[in-house]
Structure 1
Amino acid sequence: MNYSNLTEELKPANLVSCLISQRGQLIFEQYREPHFAETVAKINSCTKSVLSALCCIAMDQGLLPAPETPASVYFPQLAYDTASHKSEITLLHLLTMTSGMDWTEFGGQNSFPKMTRTPNWIDFVLDQPLSDIPGTKMSYNSGGSQLLAAILVQATGMSVARFAELTLFEPLGIESYQWEIDPQGIHTGGFGLSLRPIDMLKFGHLYLQQGKWGQTQLISSELIARSTQPAIRAESPRRGSYGWHWWTDTYPDRNSNDGDVPQLPYFNAYGFGGQCIYILPSIEVVVVLTNDQRKKSKIPLGVFRQSVAPYLMELIK
């Protein structure tokens, strides 16, 4: 892998960081400025994948029931709504963004900004009408992630951050983090976590190792596999499929002229502005990309597929 060429390839993106590891060893590490290596920064919607991990851990520990369990177990008002199919919403629907709620994250209804301006985010989400039968269509919904965070609090009897410290952060050696809360003090499920790039890499490596860290199985391999498998096709214009708060895809795109070009399947966490964790099991690679662009830009979305993935193809044997 020609690291000097990759460095040049990444220059237009002006990333804060790019880390690539293979089999647990760093093979590429680049920061815009040296101090970014030790700086915790918002990972935005990558928070959702951390939340997914915590849900899996809670299921492994018997604190959360099976994913097919109705969400009304935790929010009884859903069962009382006889005018819609809200009683059919399950934990799995919340994890796969298929609750059926009439929700437009940004643009249109601007559901996410509206939620964050209300005095009670959970009530706002639960009050949203349905536009689809639960389980039939994906609609990106950080409100559903907040419901999952609130469910974790009920199930574990502690804050989301404290549960993360005990079951995930401390075992991984993650000591520096920040995590925002909603007006009721519930840690944000869909965004709001800040980590160092190297700690994002540790989290990705945990998934590469199928939930095992050292000699300890932090998350069962069964739930690692299930949560990162495609559950439903992503809504347009997003590409690939969606699992339990993880995106899934393959590089490169298939077309009639591909012939025998090998494929790189991967799953990834993605946060607004270019915060990314990519796991590529077939070549035992984890990639972390972070950025701090405040203005709307499509550059962060394309960095992995346009600049990094072509170099990773060299690692296929």
Structure 2
Amino acid sequence: MNLSTLSASLAPLKLRSCLIQQQGKLIFEHYRDQQTASELAKINSCTKSILSALICIAMDQGLLPGPAAPLRDFFPQIRRDADPRKQDITLEQLLTMSAGFRWKEFGGANSFPKMTRTPHWVNYVLEQPLADEPGTRMEYNSGISQLLSSILVQATGQSTASYAEQVLFGPLGIRDYDWESDPQGIHTGGFGLKLRPVDLLNFGQLYLQQGVWKDSQIISGRWTARSVQPVMHTEPPRHGGYGWHWWTDALSCSSAAGESSLVDYYYARGYAGQFIYVVPELQLVTVLTQDNKRGKNNPPADVFRDYIVPLLGSI
């Protein structure tokens, strides 16, 4: 992988960080300034993929039942809802954003900003009507992630952050973090976590290694594999697929014979340009962090596809 021109190419983009690791070796490291490497910064919706890992670990430990477990097991009040379909929404449908709730993440009558202004986020989400039959369509919904964080608290008997320290952050060497919570003290499942770029890199490497870290199985290979498989098609304008709070897609690479082929990858994605890309076939993990808040008329560059993928070379 020829990275000799990458630093110059990235300079105008004003990234906070760009880390590339291949076959377990850090091969490229770029920071906006000296402080960026060590300072905590919001990872926004990459928090969702961290939460997915915690759900998988809780299932490994027998604290949570399997992905077919229904919503009524965690929120008994849903049995009284006028729509009986709600109580049969499964854990997997929450993880794949296909629960069917009427929701517009930003804007509209039922939205993420509106949820954050209510006194009880979990109840707000549960009270939303269904727009789709559960399991039939993905609708991006950070409220669903808050339900999952609440479920994790119920299952483990401790806060989401405390459980993360015990089963994920501790093993990965993550000592410093900051994590927002809702009015009931439940840590935000869909956003609000602050980590360092290297923490994101290690998290991606954990998944590349199928849940193994330093000879310890942190997450079972069964759930790491299943969680990053596409289950739902993403809603426009996004493309690719969606697994258990992970995005999935494919990129075009050249073979040794010069033929083009598609290589699958999966990634965590956060607002303003936070990404963790994992490409198993290339043994590659890439982390990008940014402060990009440009609007629709001035979209941000796709740094991974436009600047890094062309340098991957033949496979």
Q: TM-score, normalised by structure 2?
A: 0.95
Q: Which residue of 1 aligns with 2:174?
A: 174
SS at match of 1:229: coil
Give deviations 1:45-98, integer Å, cap 9, x for gaps: 000000000000000000000110101101112222243421221111100000
Q: Which residue of 2 aligns with 1:272?
A: 271
Q: Which residue of 1 aligns with 2:223?
A: 223
Q: Which residue of 2 aligns with 1:124?
A: 124
State how far apart, in whole Å, the 1-side matches of 2:6 and 2:238 are. Answer: 26
Q: Which residue of 1 aligns with 2:140?
A: 140
Q: Which residue of 1 aligns with 2:65?
A: 65
State how far apart, in whole Å, the 2-side matches of 1:21 and 1:299 are. Answer: 27
Q: Kindly state the Cα deviation for residue 242 of structure 1 after the two structures are TM-superposed.
A: 0.1
Q: Which residue of 2 aligns with 1:263?
A: 262
SS at match of 1:34: coil
Question: Contact (CA 8 Å) 1:120, 1:184: kept in 2 or not?
Answer: yes
Give deviations 1:204-224, integer Å, cap 9, x for gaps: 000000000011100000100
Taking a change above 3 Å as real, the CA distance of residues 301 and 78 of structure 1, as seen in their structure-2 partners, is farther
Letter in structure 2 aligned against 1:85: R
Question: Contact (CA 8 Å) 2:294, 2:300: kept in 1 or not?
Answer: no
* Aligned-CA RMSD value: 1.6
Question: Contact (CA 8 Å) 1:274, 1:301: kept in 2 or not?
Answer: no
Q: Percent identical across equivalent pairs?
A: 57
Aligned: 1:284 with 2:270: no
Question: Contact (CA 8 Å) 1:84, 1:130: kept in 2 or not?
Answer: no
SS at match of 2:260: coil
Give deviations 1:161-197, integer Å, cap 9, x for gaps: 0000000001000111100000000000000000000
Letter in structure 2 aligned against 1:25: K
Q: Which residue of 2 aligns with 1:32?
A: 32
Q: Kindly state the Cα deviation for residue 108 of structure 1 after the two structures are TM-superposed.
A: 2.6
State how far apart, in whole Å, the 1-side matches of 2:230 and 2:36 are. Answer: 33
Question: Contact (CA 8 Å) 1:13, 1:299: kept in 2 or not?
Answer: no
Q: Which residue of 2 aligns with 1:256?
A: none
State how far apart, in whole Å, the 1-side matches of 2:107 and 2:259 are. Answer: 41
SS at match of 1:4: coil
Query: 1:1-317 residue pairs with structure 2 within 5 A?
Result: 1-109=1-109, 111-252=111-252, 260-296=259-295, 299-300=299-300, 302-312=302-312, 314=313, 316-317=314-315
State how far apart, in whole Å, the 2-side matches of 1:95 and 1:50 are. Answer: 12
State how far apart, in whole Å, the 1-side matches of 2:168 and 2:274 are. Answer: 20
State how far apart, in whole Å, the 2-side matches of 1:109 and 1:201 are. Answer: 37
Q: Kindly state the Cα deviation for residue 203 of structure 1 after the two structures are TM-superposed.
A: 0.2
Question: Contact (CA 8 Å) 1:178, 1:194: kept in 2 or not?
Answer: yes
State how far apart, in whole Å, the 2-side matches of 1:56 and 1:197 are. Answer: 23
Question: Contact (CA 8 Å) 2:274, 2:288: kept in 1 or not?
Answer: yes
Give deviations 1:99-152, integer Å, cap 9, x for gaps: 000000013336100000011101110110000000000000000000000000
Q: Kindly state the Cα deviation for residue 295 of structure 1 after the two structures are TM-superposed.
A: 3.9
Give deviations 1:4-53, integer Å, cap 9, x for gaps: 31122223321100000011110000011111000110000000000000
State how far apart, in whole Å, the 1-side matches of 2:162 and 2:42 are. Answer: 18
State how far apart, in whole Å, the 1-side matches of 2:301 and 2:252 are. Answer: 15
Question: Contact (CA 8 Å) 1:68, 1:90: kept in 2 or not?
Answer: yes
Letter in structure 2 aligned against 1:99: A
Q: Please, which moves more after superposition, 86-95 or 151-160?
A: 86-95
Letter in structure 1 aligned against 2:103: W
Q: Kindly state the Cα deviation for residue 301 of structure 1 after the two structures are TM-superposed.
A: 5.9
SS at match of 2:277: strand
Taking a change above 3 Å as real, the CA distance of residues 4 and 110 of structure 1, as seen in their structure-2 partners, is farther
Letter in structure 2 aligned against 1:5: T
Q: Please, which moves more after superposition, 109-118 or 160-169?
A: 109-118
State how far apart, in whole Å, the 1-side matches of 2:113 and 2:122 are. Answer: 14
Question: Contact (CA 8 Å) 2:110, 2:128: kept in 1 or not?
Answer: no
Question: Contact (CA 8 Å) 2:241, 2:249: kept in 1 or not?
Answer: yes
